[in-house]
């Protein structure tokens, strides 16, 4: 608790009026009698910040950091002030102290990774992001931050977009998604970005996005956000799909979109050529996945690929894992009729392929190709190139199905039928809801 009384009331009044010189003198006077009071120490540093005296702010905030503060709220505030003062070293040190109090706090780990990254401590940042991702596999930001660091280290900056992926030079406005890379992992990000690009093309808007892994995987060098825009949050009640139609009003022009935009895929069908062009592997990725596919096809003439989503799929109406038995039932029925089949199992569960031992399944590790920072991508690419494809209830494999132009059978798990059923990737809900 901060000390109270007439001096503190006067101090608060000076601060509320922005009378920082008077507040500074009074705060230092009160601190003389309360030299280890956390609230006063932080306020002293904040006042120096407001006065624009960064050296004094840093020195005072470091003094606060040495005062043995053990309160999570005070430490969180102190870290924010240190960051504002440009003292990233002290902010990182204080974040590590905060982690000792809250060792499983994903937000604190993510903030520490960000500060380490800004300090140029790349290896430390990667390790911190990995620790955050391990604690919360469904939380996207640490995955995205780690991916970008690893891809940038391996490949350097993104390459320029080839002509078929470039935006139109004529734009009458802007549309952005500053949260791209934060709301869901690869499948969700591909849907969100595709919505932006399709909407931008229909309405003549320039699409602006932050760093996300698509810049490296697909050579998408879109402009970065050039200024703050009003945020538009997706309304599931209204639905976003109709906004992609020619003639629809450009209601999202000059907005920063927030949401998932997982509309019925029939709305993307008129834009299928653009959708597939955007997600052709980039110049540095294509040789890697090309080698992987060549090795897979050397094992059989018909590639049958299945996706088993496990990991963060713990149940519920949308995130339900389909059992292996549904896929086995389908495979047993079709296998004898296939020409030289080879089974590929894509999964976030390293043991999932064991259920399919009788079919001698192949996994990504056996293909000998790895994309540091996008370790899931070889799985995704095989799903998009398979001759028969059975997906899970996941945007990851649904997007792969949308990109697959060669498969002659598409199946997905149906929760009511409790089996795999045929589906049209371009005329489907992205996720099926279990009752």
What's the pLDDT tens digit per position in 331-349?
A: 999 999 999 999 999 999 9
Angle between helices 122-135 and 140-155 (to 10 degrees): 150
Question: Looking at per-residue confidence, does 10 or 86 come out higher?
Answer: 86
Look at residues 277, 281, 283 and name the one whose alpha carbon lies nearest to residue 164. Answer: 277
415, 420, 421, 423: CA torsion to nearest 10: 90
Two tokens, residue 348: 């976030």
pLDDT exceeds cutoff 90 at 384: yes
Q: Which long-range CB contacts under 8 A does 85-94 form with residues at least 24 apart? A: 85/45, 85/49, 85/54, 85/57, 85/58, 85/61, 86/54, 86/58, 87/58, 87/61, 87/62, 88/115, 88/118, 88/119, 89/119, 90/58, 90/61, 90/62, 90/65, 91/115, 92/116, 92/119, 93/65, 94/65
pLDDT exceeds cutoff 70 at 2: no
Look at residues 203, 209, 195 and name the one whose alpha carbon lies nearest to residue 263. Answer: 195
Look at residues 55, 47, 50 and name the one whose alpha carbon lies nearest to residue 29. Answer: 47
pLDDT recorded at residue 38: 80
pLDDT exceeds cutoff 70 at 3: no
pLDDT recorded at residue 337: 96
The lowest-confidence range among 12-21, 58-67, 282-291 is 12-21
Report the C-alpha gap between 359 and 336 in whole angstroms: 11
Residue 185's pLDDT band (cuts 50, 70, 90): very high
pLDDT exceeds cutoff 80 at 236: no
pLDDT exceeds cutoff 90 at 184: yes
Once rounded to an integer, what is the mean pLDDT over residues 203-208? 95
Report the C-alpha gap between 270 and 246 in whole angstroms: 9
pLDDT exceeds cutoff 50 at 312: yes
pLDDT recorded at residue 192: 97
pLDDT exceeds cutoff 70 at 238: no
Q: Which domains does the chain have, with CATH numbers?
A: 6-153 (1.25.40.10), 163-278 (no CATH), 286-422 (3.40.50)
pLDDT recorded at residue 169: 86
Once rounded to an integer, what is the mean pLDDT over residues 313-318? 75
Once rounded to an integer, what is the mean pLDDT over residues 40-50? 89
Helix (H, G, I), strand (E, B) or coil at 421: strand
Report the C-alpha gap between 14 and 265 in whole angstroms: 58
Residue 1's pLDDT band (cuts 50, 70, 90): very low
How many helices (H) does the chain have, and how many strands (E)? 17, 9
State the average pLDDT for the chain: 93
How does strand 302-308 pair with strand 341-347?
A: parallel
Look at residues 194, 177, 181 and name the one whose alpha carbon lies nearest to residue 276. Answer: 194
Helix (H, G, I), strand (E, B) or coil at 228: coil
Report the C-alpha gap between 312 and 365 in whole angstroms: 21
pLDDT tens readout for residues 262-291 = 999 999 999 999 999 999 999 999 999 999
The DSSP 8-state label assigned to residue 206 in this structure reads E
The answer to whether residues 400 and 424 touch, using CB atoms and an 8 Å cutoff, is no
Report the C-alpha gap between 392 and 411 in whole angstroms: 9
Once rounded to an integer, what is the mean pLDDT over residues 248-252? 85
Q: Which helix (H) or strand (E) holds 347?
A: strand 341-347
Question: Looking at per-residue confidence, does 238 or 377 come out higher?
Answer: 377
The pTM assigned to this predicted structure is: 0.91
Ramachandran class of 109: left when φ > 0, alpha when ψ lies in -120 to 50, beta otherwise: alpha
pLDDT recorded at residue 34: 79
Residue 5's pLDDT band (cuts 50, 70, 90): low
pLDDT exceeds cutoff 60 at 146: yes
pLDDT recorded at residue 171: 85
pLDDT tens readout for residues 288-305 = 999 999 999 999 999 999
């Amino acid at each position: 608790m901060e000390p109270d009384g007439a001096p503190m009331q006067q101090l608060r009044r000076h601060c509320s009026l922005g009378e920082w010189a008077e507040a500074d003198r009074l705060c230092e006077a009160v601190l003389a009698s309360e030299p280890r009071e956390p609230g006063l120490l932080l306020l002293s540093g904040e006042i120096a910040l407001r006065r624009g005296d960064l050296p004094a702010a840093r020195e005072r905030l470091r003094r606060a950091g040495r005062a043995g503060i053990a309160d999570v709220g005070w430490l969180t505030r102190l870290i924010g002030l240190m960051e504002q003062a440009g003292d990233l070293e002290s902010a990182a040190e204080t974040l590590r102290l905060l982690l000792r109090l809250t060792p499983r706090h994903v937000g604190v780990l993510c903030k520490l990774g960000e500060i380490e990254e800004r300090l140029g401590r790349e290896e430390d940042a990667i390790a911190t992001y990995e620790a955050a991702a391990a604690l919360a596999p469904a939380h996207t930001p640490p995955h995205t931050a780690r991916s970008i660091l690893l891809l940038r280290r391996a490949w350097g900056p993104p390459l320029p977009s080839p002509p078929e992926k470039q935006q139109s030079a004529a734009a009458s406005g802007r549309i952005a998604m500053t949260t791209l890379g934060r709301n869901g992992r690869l499948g969700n990000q591909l849907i969100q970005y595709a919505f932006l690009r399709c909407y931008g093309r229909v309405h003549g808007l320039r699409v602006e996005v932050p760093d996300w892994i698509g810049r490296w995987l697909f050579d998408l060098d879109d402009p970065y956000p050039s200024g703050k825009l009003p945020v538009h949050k997706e309304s599931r009640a209204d639905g976003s799909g109709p906004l992609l139609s020619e003639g629809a009003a450009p209601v999202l022009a000059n907005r920063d979109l927030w949401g998932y935009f997982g509309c019925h895929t029939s709305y993307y069908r008129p834009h299928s050529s653009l959708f597939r062009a955007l997600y052709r592997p980039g110049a540095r990725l294509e040789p890697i996945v090309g080698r992987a596919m060549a090795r897979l096809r050397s094992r059989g003439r018909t590639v049958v690929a299945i996706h088993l989503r496990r990991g963060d799929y713990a149940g519920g109406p949308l995130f339900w894992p389909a059992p292996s038995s549904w896929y086995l039932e389908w495979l047993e029925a079709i296998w004898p009729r296939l020409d030289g089949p080879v089974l590929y199992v894509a999964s976030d569960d390293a043991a999932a392929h064991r259920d399919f031992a009788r079919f001698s399944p192949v996994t990504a590790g056996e293909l000998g190709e790895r994309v540091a920072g996008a370790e899931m991508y070889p799985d995704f690419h095989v799903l998009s190139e398979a001759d028969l494809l059975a997906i899970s209830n996941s945007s990851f494999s649904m997007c792969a199905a949308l990109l697959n132009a060669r498969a002659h059978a598409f199946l997905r798990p149906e929760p009511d039928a409790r089996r795999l059923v045929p589906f049209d990737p371009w005329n489907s809900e992205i996720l099926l809801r279990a009752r």
